[in-house]
Structure 1
Amino acid sequence: MATVGDVRRIAAVLPGAVERQTTGGAAWFVRAKLFAWECHPWPSIPDAVRAIIAAEPVMGVKVADPDDALALREMAPDVFLPKTTGWGEPKIAFRMATIDIDHLEELVTEAWRTQAPRYLVREFDLGAG
């Protein structure tokens, strides 16, 4: 099972990534832009989704395009939750208990890429190569 600690480890190598505690739990930002967060069962979330978030660890990440979120939901409906709220779109929420660590790393890194300035993305890409 993936944990918040795994997200911390992944985010720690992303240039400019900063973890902050929010009302809903841990959240990660790059240059003040949110890219990953612990989901909280807010009243504005549909009842069925809110019940899942209340019962188990769920993370959310930014995605590049709403179609990406739709594709993820259709690819693995047991992992990715239906739409939570319209706030902060495009995004996707997923169950930590069912996400593969490699997929978690890909999701967090791609979420960071959607929010990071180009110079930080270049820095990361040059360091990875």
Structure 2
Amino acid sequence: MVTEDDVRRIALALPETGEKTMYGTPAFYVRGKWFARMREEGDMLVLPVASEEEKAELLAAEPAKFGTTPHYDGYAVVLVRLDEVGAEEMSELLTDAWRLRAPKRLAAGYDG
């Protein structure tokens, strides 16, 4: 299980990442593009994924961990239940979301 503080620590360790508020909740940005946001309830994280197909696969494979709402229908975005993931998996999820939104050169430099 991870907490909002764990999410913050992991997200802000990624290159050129900052925190701002989005819809009244903490959100994390790389060069002005959001890549993660806490939900209002504080128990879920909103994350972009590569495609709607990937979203469907995650939802089907692990419905206890990943969810969605009608608000996100048609968008490549999933909700991650914080009490269902550990720190290592959250790090992978946040890093993948960061890579989706980071400029290509920045992501390539991070991946080394």
- TM-score normalised to the size of structure 2? 0.88
Q: Does 101-110 or 5-14 show the bigger shift? A: 5-14
Say whether residues 1:73 and 2:65 are aligned partners.
no
- Tell me the amino acid that sits aligned with residue 8 of structure 2: R
Alpha-carbon distance in 1 for matches of 2:68, 2:94: 19
Answer whether contact 1:15 1:123 (CA < 8 A) is retained.
no
User: Do the aligned partners of 2:47 and 2:77 also contact (CA within 8 Å) in 1?
Assistant: yes
The gaps in structure 1 that reach 5 residues or longer are: 41-53
SS at match of 2:84: coil
**SS at structure 1 position matched to 2:45:** strand
Decide whether aligned partners of structure 1 residues 84 and 108 sit closer, same or farther in structure 2, where only a CA change above 3 A counts.
farther
Shift of 1:82: 3.0
2:52 counterpart letter in structure 1: P
Deviations 1:77-103 (A, max 9, x none): 111113441379211101111112221
The answer to whether the aligner puts 1:108 opposite 2:87 as a matched pair is: no
- The corresponding residue for 1:6 is 6
Whether the 8 Å contact between 2:52 and 2:74 is mirrored in structure 1 is no
RMSD in angstroms over aligned alpha carbons? Answer: 1.8
Name stretches of at least 5 consecutive residues in structure 2 with no aligned partner.
none
Is the CA contact 1:84–1:93 (under 8 Å) kept in the aligned structure 2?
no
Match of 2:21 in 1: 21
- Count how many residue pairs are aligned between Structure 1 and Structure 2: 112
Q: How many percent of aligned residue pairs carry the same amino acid?
A: 31
Q: Could you tell me whether the CA contact under 8 Å between 2:35 and 2:101 is conserved in 1?
A: yes
Deviating runs (4+, > 6 A) in structure 1? none
